[in-house]
Amino acid sequence: MLFRDVATGVILMFNAMVFVYFVLLNSMYLVLFAAAFVETRRYLTRSKSIDLEEVFRSPLTPSVSVLIPAFNEEAVILDVVAATLNLKYPHFEVVVINDGSTDSTLELLKERYRLQHVTRMTECEVSCGYINSVYVSPSDDRLVVVDKLNGGKADALNAGINVSIHDIVCVVDADSLVEPDALLKIARPFLEKPDDTVAAGGVIRIANGCEVEGSRVTRVKLPRNYWANVQIVEYMRAFLGARLGWSAFHSMLIISGAFGGFDRRTMVEIDGYDPNTVGEDMELVVRMHRYLRSRRRPYRMYFLPDPICWTQVPETYGGVARQRDRWQRGLIESLNHNATMLLNPRYGIIGMLAMPYYVFFELMGPIVELLGYAMVAVALSLRMIDFDFLYLFLSVSVLYGIIVSIMAVYIESLAYRRYPRLPSLLKLTFYAVLDNVGYRQINTWWRTKAYFTYYTRRRKWGESRRTRYAET
Amino acid sequence: MEYGSGLQTALTYGVIVLLGLVVAMFVLLVVLRLVASRRERRLENRKLQILSVVTGLLDSDVMPEDAARTLRDVVPSRDRRPMELALLELAPNAKGGRAERLSFLCERLGFIQKDIDDLEDGRPSRKAEAAFHLGMVGSERAVGPLLRTLDSNPDQGIVFACLNALSHIGTPEAIEGVAGYLASHDELENVRIAEVLLERGKEFSPYIRTWLEEGGIDSRRLNFLLKVTAALDDASMVAPVSGYLGHDDPEVRANAARALGMLGERAACGQLARMMEDGSVRVRAEAAEALGLAGCAEALGVLEAGLGDPDMGVRRSCASALMLLGSEGRAALERYAAAAEEEEREAAAEVLETERVRNSRKGA
């Protein structure tokens, strides 16, 4: 009897905690989405008065070095380099960093662009591994290819920073296609607020299923694959909802490694990317916040909802699982490395709001959710479950999640319209439901597992199977 | 284990409300999307139809008054919006007589009056849009209302739209209004002012020269003006710009050097060469680039010495500048690339090899 009383007490206490957690988390989501709605409206109104041609012609437009780190990217590298060289921008160089690929990434580039070895002065402004050679192309002198010993993505990016010569560094993943005007859009904050802009991030969209011609996404279509579709809704929720919302509060902790612009000088000051992390993109941004706030330097980071970068996402259970595992490990590392910021008023809104959110909801969320499911199983086995309450709580939780996902589809559909056909919209709404039934629970499991792999797996490039864009 | 009935009731209501919300959101989403798509399609189709009519009228010998009458007769009143969009689409590329006819049509069809009314009494978002329209069609009648709006609105979006419109219209009154505003306000984003100033570079040159000569400008604005000056291609700017080569702020000195290089002013070679001894890396790099751009052959020795500068960026700038100085500069680079200290050799080799690769493309 005593055991039953204790168990009942524990379960009731846990339920109360979960309920409070649930209310706080969802209130946070609502606030972020409300901010995202306002920010979207503001951005679109402002965009009407912006003529990108004038940005293109302006003598003040800063020069940009686009860095593309590549490790075994033979399937996509030519498409991506061609797309990047076709960007509409007045002055830029494309620096491809071949990080000791064991496939024919470098050979393909050498052959296609008739690369020639040149002397290039390179100072070790940020720590990086040994650079074997630097090549330039006679067919396009904006292209620079760096061949270096394998050292991981962060190390490759650091080598790119050292070789780059312009004030703004734009990082693009080797499996991503940047839209032609995206560089102009992402450079705009650096042009408008040159004194305090240190970073700007764009939106990552999913290219699976889209038609690609001449290294450019020409027709946006939804894929047939379940995993790709749920990720489309997931990306919309993350980019058009959460990140835009955080940006409104000047508290963005992530700029996607697939597409982001940074002030080179600030990157050099913080010694570039940390090669000892798998989530180098988030770690860099969090460390940048820490560095600049601790020195009380005024700065701004922007999230812009319309510079678009298209990327391929994994289409198999294993592929998505590995990716999520890597992301969660990156999150754990980034928060761990910068734990001094947590609830530290010295770091302002970052320390008092953004960091606690990421620690309590993003980091601990999967554990709390999984514990919840476990507690249901325990209560069930002890016959201490109130099914009416369980069904109701689950329904509220899932419906709330569905509403948040549909809100993201709303923002996409009414503001950006990248999926213009009605059937696509209906399909997206359908996946906004599926996203919360099944996928969310699997995702929770992957993210919880990442706590174990965090201590067991060595840091290396997140390899995934690439498909040529023409075949997507 | 049972929970209080109050909590269960609350959750039940919660489920019902959320379920209702999901269904309502879904229906609303579909309806909004359908309505918006239909409206947009219709607007686009009508605009294209009207566009062909307007283009035909502008290209024909029809008198502007008759063209306006024809448009009024042909286009139903419910299609005023697509007609306005069609006229605005033609405006940016219209020049000379065609631009005048277009402006006349906008005036006769009431679009200019509508935009002036919006500018004076509309919502803030409409004010900015109206100002842009007036600028695009170059309505001289709008200068007064634009200047009044400029004085009475702190909103940066509206201010920029008005400045941009006035710059587009470009009458002396409009240019003076813009210059007067810019002289007394420094809160507008610099890049937007650059757009305005470069739109009518020649007309604004005298004002910029006066601002530079009078001084008393903070470093941020000064740096911006020097960058704009560099793009103006106006030799009369050399004297005021040279005055800033000795400024306290290294950023200002660097921008002044850069501007002189861009202006291609050989008279400044001596001053630029002396700046190669500046303590600031950025100033030395910009001075070296400027020496190359201005074709200062007499600075060959200074640039050669710069190949041994402790800073890589300065070495790179010196090597690039030598390459711009023709055969003598090239010969110096080859000499250094063949036999010199490692740093000097690398700087020379980098530029020479990159040039070789470029030339191999030309050869191919």
Tell me, what CATH number does B165's domain have?
1.25.10.10
- Average pLDDT of chain A to the nearest whole number: 89
Over residues A41-69, the pLDDT tens digits come to 888 877 776 778 778 888 888 999 999 99
Name every chain B residue with its beta carbon within 8 A of the beta carbon of A393: 11
Name every chain A residue with its beta carbon within 8 A of the beta carbon of B195: 51, 54, 58
Q: How far apart are CA A252 and CA A243, in angstroms?
A: 6
- The more confidently predicted of residues B92 and B210 is B210
pLDDT at B183: 83
Over residues A295-319, the pLDDT tens digits come to 999 999 999 998 999 999 999 999 9
In a mutational test of the B interface, the residue from A115, A121, A233 whose CB has the highest number of chain B CBs within 10 Å is: A121
Residue A213: pLDDT band with limits 50, 70, 90 = confident
Question: In chain A, what is the straight-line distance between the N-terminal and C-terminal CA atoms, in Å?
Answer: 62
Side-chain half-sphere of B72: how many Cα atoms within 13 Å?
13
For residue A258 the two structure tokens come to 């697939």
The one-letter amino acid at B81: R
Q: Is B173 within a domain? A: yes
Residue A354 above 50 pLDDT?
Answer: yes
Residue A463 above 60 pLDDT?
Answer: no
If one counts the domains in chain B, the total is 1
Q: Please tell me the least confidently modeled range out of A350-364, A446-460, B166-180, B236-250.
A: A446-460
Q: Where are the alpha helices (DSSP H) in A49-101?
A: 52-57, 77-85
Over residues B50-109, the pLDDT tens digits come to 988 888 888 887 788 888 888 888 888 888 888 888 888 888 888 778 888 888 889 888
pLDDT at A394: 83
Percent of chain A with pLDDT over 90: 59
Contact of A50 with B128, CB cutoff 8 Å:
no
pLDDT at B364: 44
The one-letter amino acid at A54: E
Q: How far apart are CA B45 and CA B32, in angstroms?
A: 20
What is the DSSP annotation of B151-181? HH---HHHHHHHHHHHHHH--HHHHHHHHHH
Per-residue b or e along A311-336, where b marks 16 or more CB atoms closer than 10 Å to that residue's CB: bbbbbeeeebbbbbbbbbbbbbbbbe
Q: How far apart are CA A14 and CA A350, in angstroms?
A: 29
Name every chain A residue with its beta carbon within 8 A of the beta carbon of B343: 121
Residue A285: pLDDT band with limits 50, 70, 90 = very high
Domains parsed from chain A with CATH numbers: 1-472 (3.90.550.10)
Q: Count contacts between A and B (CB, < 8 Å).
A: 136
Give kind and range of the element (H or E) at residue B272: helix B269-274
Question: In chain B, what is the straight-line distance between the N-terminal and C-terminal CA atoms, in Å?
Answer: 84
Q: Is B158 within a domain? A: yes
Q: Is B163 within a domain? A: yes
Q: Do B157 and A141 touch (CB under 8 A)?
A: no
- What's the length of chain A? 472
Q: Is B155 within a domain? A: yes
Interacting residues of B38 by C-beta distance below 8 A, sequence separation 6+? none
Q: How far apart are CA B4 and CA A392, in angstroms?
A: 13
Over residues B258-315, the pLDDT tens digits come to 999 988 878 889 989 999 999 999 999 999 999 999 999 999 999 999 998 989 889 9
Which among B203, B257, B255, B266 has a CA at the least distance from the CA of B232?
B203
Residue A289: pLDDT band with limits 50, 70, 90 = very high
pLDDT at A464: 58
Q: Is B293 within a domain? A: no
In a mutational test of the B interface, the residue from A55, A58, A414, A416 whose CB has the highest number of chain B CBs within 10 Å is: A58
pLDDT at B67: 86
pLDDT at A401: 87
Percent of chain A with pLDDT over 70: 96
Domain hosting residue B189, numbered range: 63-68+81-89+102-199
| Closest-CA residue of chain B to A56 | B195
Other CB atoms within 10 A of residue A16 CB: 10
Longest CA–CA separation in chain A, Å: 84
User: How far B199 CA lies from chain A's nearest CA (Å)?
Assistant: 10
- What is the DSSP secondary structure assignment for residue B187, as one 8-state letter? -
Which among A83, A77, A116, A84 has a CA at the least distance from the CA of A99?
A77
User: How far B302 CA lies from chain A's nearest CA (Å)?
Assistant: 21
Q: Is B339 within a domain? A: no
Q: Is B220 within a domain? A: no
Interacting residues of A364 by C-beta distance below 8 A, sequence separation 6+? none
User: How far B233 CA lies from chain A's nearest CA (Å)?
Assistant: 12
pLDDT at B240: 92
Residue A23 above 90 pLDDT?
Answer: no
Residue A459 above 60 pLDDT?
Answer: no
Q: Is B129 within a domain? A: yes
- Average pLDDT of chain B to the nearest whole number: 86
